[in-house]
Amino acid sequence: MSSVFTTDHDTIFIGGRWAAPASGKRIEVISPLTEQRIASVPSASREDIDRAVAAATLALNEGPWPTMTLEDRIAILQRWRELIVEHSEELAQLITDEMGAPITQSREIQVANPVLIVDAYVQTAREYPFRSVRRSSNGQALVMRDPVGVVAAVVPWNMPASLIAQKVVPALLAGCTVVLKPAPESPLDAYLLVRLLEEAGLPSGAINLVVADREVSEYLVSHPGISKVTFTGSSAAGRRIAEICGHDFRRLTLELGGKSAAVVLDDADLDVVMSSLRLGAFRNNGQICSLKTRLVVPASKQAEFLGRLDAMVSSMPVGDPHDDLTEIGPLVSERQRARVEEYIRKGSHEGARLVRGGGRPAGLERGWFVEPTVFADVDPNATIAQEEIFGPVVAVIPYRDEDEAIAIANNSTYGLNGAVFTTDVEHGVEVARRIHTGTVELNGNPSGFLAPMGGVKSSGMGREFGPEGLDPFVELKAIGISRELAARL
């Protein structure tokens, strides 16, 4: 059943006020479970974007936020963190309603992550060199890291609250002001999070909220008042944004698609592998860019691996995402389901062996469901091994020796994430170093929110989290100073 927390919204948030939009155009939010409208929000126009950027610019140039002490900014974000905890169930229900994440995952991951992200970035910011002195034989400098300017934070629908925090928190800690644009499929959690930022005491104009279609979103990232764009989404959309921003030398961080490989070495503990892949390959109904969807296994162990994988997937209930027992819910939209089903057809057409799934679950006539699907004997160059599917579909690819396994892992235009499974962890680190990707998990161990996260190749540019995640939101300035002043600073 639908949550009681869904509601229509008639305003956008600009300059510290919930204001009427410039037009009456609306965006409807459709439940992936019932296929029915559950809410609607204003669809921002170019005029609304102009107003939002103007408010953020005013707050940057004349407002208190950029000139506050770091500790004062931290205090407001920590109050926001407390409010997220207080409203965690409401937020979890909203996310499940709007994009279909199983409610246990909404509670334990989607809503828990923003809290952890605030904690990690606060720790990082306190150690970050916003101001330092450098001395050399030919001069002394006060090196400042000032706010880069007004930031456009463009967030996708799959991990909406996490990704809002992932982009907004470092921008605000650096003293920037923000125009936040959530995805049209999942805007409801953004309304709640911005209301909580308002309640936490964030000054007027430091954050502004608009929901927009593709055309108006392009206008936002091309706006001359925007100094920095941070975007998570598809590689195709990322390329388009890079073209737009490159024209004006606008700062840009892109976290894009993935086709991550899990390399299972011959000595791997399959119990550990299966425990990791439960969420590592099927979390959020397969709609996470870092999921391990290419499972690279020894040919001699493929049969055993498939038996274990089939049993594991069979134990994952598919159904109503509001049910605490559900582990696989519906996909976000009818269009996304059609996309996934087309990939499944291509997999079979190109000769991969369908081990399980491939259709729609029995007894679920309503909702955009796809059965968890496993292909075996997949050619490394097959479409389902090369293109991001973004659904509960994995490809098992056999290999003969370790060098071939690494070659398969690197045979991708993507490079966002990956995994290595082995009982020889020192050797596992060496194998991980040979995989061309931004992050590698050894035996399912996450790198955490203090380590840099981002992709290579078509998986993006730039990094988020850790000091590397603050770097894109600051502009370096060197001020030449006397030896006497350098000694005092």
Catalytic residues: 255, 289
By DSSP bridging, strand 228-232 and strand 251-255 are parallel
Contact (CB, 8 A) for 419 and 260: yes
Contact (CB, 8 A) for 321 and 101: yes
Strand partners, 398: 297
Contact (CB, 8 A) for 370 and 340: yes
Q: DSSP class of residue 473? A: G
From residue 165, how far is each of 111, 161, 354 by CA, in Å? 10, 6, 39
Tokens of 452: 């840099």
Contact (CB, 8 A) for 244 and 231: no
Whose tokens are 């126009």? That residue is: 45
Q: Distance (Å, rounded) from C-alpha 105 to C-alpha 108? A: 5
Chain centroid, CA 315 distance in Å: 27
Which positions ≥6 away from 159 have C-beta within 8 Å?
110, 113, 284, 288
Which positions ≥6 away from 441 have C-beta within 8 Å?
276, 280, 417, 418, 419, 420, 447
Contact (CB, 8 A) for 472 and 453: no
Helices (H), 328-424: 334-349, 383-386, 402-410
**CA angle centred on 102, ends 98 and 107, rounded to 5°:** 90
Contact (CB, 8 A) for 73 and 169: no
Strand partners, 354: 375
By DSSP bridging, strand 139-147 and strand 474-481 are antiparallel
Q: DSSP class of residue 108? A: I
Contact (CB, 8 A) for 289 and 159: no
Contact (CB, 8 A) for 231 and 214: no
Minimal CA–CA distance to 118: which of 92, 79, 145?
A: 79
Tokens of 171: 């921008």
279: number of Cβ within 10 Å? 16
Minimal CA–CA distance to 286: which of 344, 235, 240?
A: 344
Tokens of 240: 């388009």
Which positions ≥6 away from 472 have C-beta within 8 Å?
148, 170, 228, 230, 251, 253, 462, 463
Tokens of 74: 């931290």
